[in-house]
Amino acid sequence: MYDHSKKEDDKLIKFLRKNGVNSYKSVDHCLARRGSADKQWEDLLNRTEHGLISLYLAHKIELESVGIRDQRIIKKWQLINRASEYKRKLVPNRKLTLKKLKNLGYKLSILTDASRNSTSIEKTLSFIGLKNLFNSVFSSHDTGHMKPEKEAYFTVLKHFKLRPSETIFVGHSKDEIEGARKHGIRTIAVDWDKGTKSDFYAKNFNEIPKILEKINE
């Protein structure tokens, strides 16, 4: 839904150098490995997304794994990561599409696999002017269930007291879309992964209202 800059990582390195911390190379390595298939970080992220540990603890463990135990650094990293959530940029026209769906009477909900709780995500949505467009936010950090687990989808259905046939799931990941279909939920794929099997495909986010019109004909 939105793009975001990763300049916050550079801010941390500058902070370390300014404060005479010689371990900044270790932190730089720690940041770089996030983009790779690092087993430890994947495990930590998985645990935060299931709500087993906090994101702060995940950062703490990650830094300690490269020999960094200075609480100043750990707290600074947490603040920088948190601040990055308020620097996200909404992809153009998506807000207009969400407003259109809202005006058409659809109940909009976010179901996300995230290391943050729903309250934190709602604060970000509020900051970028989207909170009032969504009826609810469900984070795996709170529910303990990630897509494509059945319980993840049914948490939303139970909240709204709806049957699978009465809902539409919009996503891009092959696993999440096919997981929804498996449990009887119709799907719209946007920017989808190669090989994804969906009920409907939208070339871009703005096509969703038109697809919904066809569904309701």
Pair 115, 81: CB distance under 8 Å: no
According to the model, what pLDDT value does residue 107 have?
96
25 and 101 inside one domain: no
112 and 201 inside one domain: yes
204 and 107 inside one domain: yes
Q: Number of structural domains, the chain?
A: 2
Which of these three, 23, 58, 87, is where a domain ends?
87
Sequence-distant (≥ 6) Cβ neighbours of residue 194 within 8 angstroms: 174
98 and 204 inside one domain: yes
For the chain, give the percent of residues with pLDDT over 70: 76
On the question of a cis peptide bond just before residue 209, with omega within 30 degrees of 0, the verdict is no
2 or 186, which is more confident:
186
Which of these three, 36, 59, 87, is where a domain ends?
87
CATH of the domain at 108: 3.40.50.1000
According to the model, what pLDDT value does residue 4 have?
40
Pair 51, 141: CB distance under 8 Å: yes
148 and 204 inside one domain: yes
Residue 84 predicted with pLDDT over 70? no
Mean pLDDT of 104-130: 92
112 and 137 inside one domain: yes
Quick: pLDDT tens for 130-170.
999 999 999 999 999 999 999 999 999 999 999 999 999 99
Amino acid in position 125: L
Quick: pLDDT tens for 173-195.
999 999 999 999 999 999 899 99
202 and 126 inside one domain: yes
In total, the chain counts a number of residues equal to 217
According to the model, what pLDDT value does residue 76 have?
73
For 168, the token pair is: 């539409």
Pair 148, 180: CB distance under 8 Å: yes
Mean pLDDT of 20-29: 52
115 and 82 inside one domain: no
77 and 145 inside one domain: no
Q: Which range of residues forms the domain containing residue 150?
A: 91-215
Which of these three, 87, 120, 138, is where a domain ends?
87
117 and 65 inside one domain: no
134 and 54 inside one domain: no
Mean pLDDT of 203-209: 94
54 and 117 inside one domain: no
State residue 55 phi and psi, 5-degree precision.
Answer: -65, -35
Measure the CA–CA gap between 69 and 77, rounded to whole angstroms: 12
Judged on CB neighbours under 10 Å (0-12, 13-18, 19+), 20 is exposed
